[in-house]
Each structure stands twice: as C-alpha cells, then as structure tokens.
Amino acid sequence: MRDPETDRLLTNVRQAVTAARAGGVTVRACIFDATVAAVDESVRGWPSAEARKTAEDACRAVDPPTVMADPQPRSQPPAIARLLFALADRIAARSTR
C-alpha cells in the first residue's frame, strides 16, 4: 500500500505525462516537466533544486544524457515491407470493427 503523498505525486505525474504526450511533447521533456510539477506543487519560474534533481534522475532512466540523435536520415523501407505493413494494418483495422 502506498503512502498517500506518493500516490498523489504519481497521479499528478501520470496526468501531466498523458496531457503532454497527447500534445506531441518528447518523453524526456514530458517526464521532466511532470516530475517538477509533482514535486514543487506550484507554478514557479524555475524548478527548485530538489525538483530538478528528482526530474533529472527520472529522465536518466529513459534517456541517458550521453545519448545523441542519429544525424543520418533513415533509409526508406523496401516496397514489399511497406506493402505487407499496409496489408497487416488494414486487416487489423477490419478485425477491430
């Protein structure tokens, strides 16, 4: 059984993450903002030291700070793979109706 404060923090983080992801925010930014909001509990211009450290630790679990984006664009998948994916997607959509 969770402590009521922990439960409240987790609920706040879940709600903030869901809303941010629906708006197209990256996972790292989403976790950082949600954790800061849950720890600080108030709107501030800059997060407190405790909130910032907690948020950085939470983000490390998802995306280590040493990770860099791949500068090379991804190649286009083969035409047969795109065709098979489209067919599987159509079958899945039809079966859920």
Q: Which pLDDT score is estimated for 70? A: 59
Report how far residue 57's alpha carbon sits from residue 80's, in angstroms, rounded to the nearest whole number. 42
* Residue located via tokens 């679990």: 61
pLDDT band at 54 (very low <50, low <70, confident <90, very high): confident
User: Considering the entire predicted model, what is its pTM?
Assistant: 0.41
Report how far residue 49's alpha carbon sits from residue 90's, in angstroms, rounded to the nearest whole number. 50
Report how far residue 88's alpha carbon sits from residue 2's, in angstroms, rounded to the nearest whole number. 42
Domain spans, the chain: 4-62
Report how far residue 36's alpha carbon sits from residue 45's, in angstroms, rounded to the nearest whole number. 12
Dihedral of alpha carbons 58, 64, 70, 74, sign: negative
pLDDT tens-digit series, residues 7-22: 777 777 777 777 777 7
